[in-house]
Structure 1
Amino acid sequence: MARFLIIAPALLLAACSPLRTEMAVQDVATTGEIPVPPPTESALATAPEPAPQSRPPAPTPWEPHYFETRLNGIAIEAVAFDSRSHHLKVADQPQGPGTRWPDSRSAGKGSLAAINASFFTPEGQPLGMIVTAGQPHGAINRASSLGSGFYVEENSGKLRLIRRDQFDHAKEAIQAGPFLVENRRAVRGLSQESSAARSFLAHDNAGHWILARTGPCSLAELAQALAGARLGPVKIHQALNLDGGRSSEIWVSSAIQGGPAFTRPFWNKPVRNFLTLQPR
């Protein structure tokens, strides 16, 4: 009897052991995975955290440069700049055109470039709103297409071209118009008459800007030439007309790649204000 009791457990162990092995083999065959016990709390506590994903570095702002080109037969001389490193400031003459600076070269002294800016009345008063260093001058022109838009530098430092009904306040601003290009499309209804020199501002909606003077053309011709075109390194997304004709002039410092340059025909007249390109 005692011998039977000793043998019985051994027989039971021998009988159960193959069954467990068989079940494990079946599990692997069914799932393709070997069962792994769940990690303990201590293992979870000491598990390394996943490494944070690194972001690619932002592109370095490129330096301003001057170039000359032609679009649809229109001669254009322009300065391209990156708004992350440079911006445009308003140089206004409260006493009237020519009372402080006779031309863009004088107005641009100490800057990198300068171009004539907004319209003015025969008496020399601004035909629209101007803001210099946060101080407003004049009043919003709500009646004319010559005041349909604004160049603004917001208090945050961002540069924008906006419609006049969007204007609230700004660090720097000039009112001008009409818009030539919006959303890469030429604005409709622009005049096809009066071929004259033009000045304009444009950007690609990604922080890259153009200030430029053209040879003689109509507003409609200039809009068609600029719409969606690549002007130097900038693909035009939006463009705003500045004062033109006998007011249109541009000066570029020798400190800019491609400079110096100064275009001001002898028949030009003094203007009320300028936009000057400066480092931030």
Structure 2
Amino acid sequence: MRRSFNARPAWPRILLLALLLPASNALAADWTPAGESQRQDIGADLAYAKRTAARPSDGKQVSAHLAFFTSRAFRLEVIDLGAGPEPAYPTLESAFRSAGCVAGVNGGFFHPDRQPSGLVISKGRRINRFETAKLLSGVIYSDERGIRLVRRGRFQDHPHITALLQTGPYLVENARPVRGLSTADPRRRTFVATDWRGHWVIGATTSSLSLAELGEMLALPDVLTPWRVDRAINLDGGSSSGFFFERGADRAPVTLQPWKRVRNLLGICPR
């Protein structure tokens, strides 16, 4: 009987894959919580936290202001500040309080003339139009059914949407970091994330990081969020990054002011 020299046992290749997979996941798992351990009641409808993540491999640390909320108790509100020389409200604090929002961040991207990029809906009023630019890969919106975060191609427009921002890129999808996110251009970031089970968070980092780093960080439970992020999307960051959280009448609010004028804000208001 002639022996075939093409038939090789499969186990060496299986062993090689088993050795490579942990190495390929090492960078994605290289973020850990830093500072004091902070347990959070994930059943609370509203909570604030400032969390820091550390990467032991190079000592990098990233801190973020976070507003956790549930879709059963809150809805989204897009506050349009206008395109004129002066914004409709002088500060984030005054804008969010005027709209009855308990927390919020800066919103979507805009052009140098302060015209928004992509579709924006504020108080049911439509501003600009739906766009197909690669950056604007997703849509975050609020309607009578709750809050939705979907890919641009799966968005189904309807007249009952009260608040919407077209933005991007997607950072996390199906609980995994999106492939191909930029590893360059570190800057402050603003984002929205959800476990798709009614838990949501809006956040703004006070440290600079790449989109790829933010995606990796958000996809790891207990690093920035106490629950597993199913999907997350980027908002306008850099010098536009802003954050507000109302802590009650007897305490000063948490605020992070943008370094430049922005076109719109994304807030959360009680239902």
In the TM superposition, what is the alpha-carbon distance from 1:105 to its structure 2 partner? 1.4
Q: 1:162 to 1:130 in 2, by over 3 A?
A: same
Supply the distance in 2 between the matched residues of 1:259 and 1:236 (Cα, whole angstroms): 30
Q: 1:270 to 1:88 in 2, by over 3 A?
A: same
Q: 1:122 to 1:254 in 2, by over 3 A?
A: same
Match of 1:65 in 2: 47
* Residues 1:107 and 2:100 aligned together: no
* Residues 1:260 and 2:253 aligned together: yes
Gaps of 5+ in 1: 1-59
Q: 1:166 to 1:260 in 2, by over 3 A?
A: same
Q: For residue 264 of structure 1, what is the amino acid of its counterpart?
A: Q
Supply the distance in 1 between the matched residues of 2:250 and 2:199 (Cα, whole angstroms): 16
Match of 2:265 in 1: 274
In the TM superposition, what is the alpha-carbon distance from 1:144 to its structure 2 partner? 2.8
* Residues 1:160 and 2:142 aligned together: no
Residues 184-203 of structure 1: pairs in structure 2 closer than 5 A: 184-203=175-194
More helix by share: 1
Supply the distance in 2 between the matched residues of 1:65 and 1:258 (Cα, whole angstroms): 14
Supply the distance in 1 between the matched residues of 2:262 and 2:137 (Cα, whole angstroms): 20
CA RMSD of aligned residues (A): 2.2
Match of 2:72 in 1: 84
Supply the distance in 2 between the matched residues of 1:213 and 1:201 (Cα, whole angstroms): 9
In the TM superposition, what is the alpha-carbon distance from 1:127 to its structure 2 partner? 0.5
In the TM superposition, what is the alpha-carbon distance from 1:235 to its structure 2 partner? 2.2
Identity of aligned residues (%): 36
* Residues 1:177 and 2:168 aligned together: yes
Q: For residue 241 of structure 1, what is the amino acid of its counterpart?
A: N
Q: For residue 164 of structure 2, what is the amino acid of its counterpart?
A: A
Q: For residue 141 of structure 2, what is the amino acid of its counterpart?
A: V
8 Å contact kept, 2:83–2:113: no
Supply the distance in 1 between the matched residues of 2:71 and 2:249 (Cα, whole angstroms): 15
Residues 1-280 of structure 1: pairs in structure 2 closer than 5 A: 62-72=44-54, 73-96=61-84, 98-109=86-97, 110-145=100-135, 147-154=136-143, 156-167=144-155, 168-169=157-158, 170-214=161-205, 215-230=207-222, 231-255=224-248, 260-264=253-257, 268-280=259-271
What's the CA shift string for 1:214-237, capped at 9, x where partnerless? 121010111111114233433211
Give the TM-score, by structure 2 length.
0.74
> What SS is found at the alignment partner of 1:108?
helix
Gaps of 5+ in 2: 1-41, 55-60
Supply the distance in 1 between the matched residues of 2:63 and 2:85 (Cα, whole angstroms): 27
In the TM superposition, what is the alpha-carbon distance from 1:98 to its structure 2 partner? 4.5
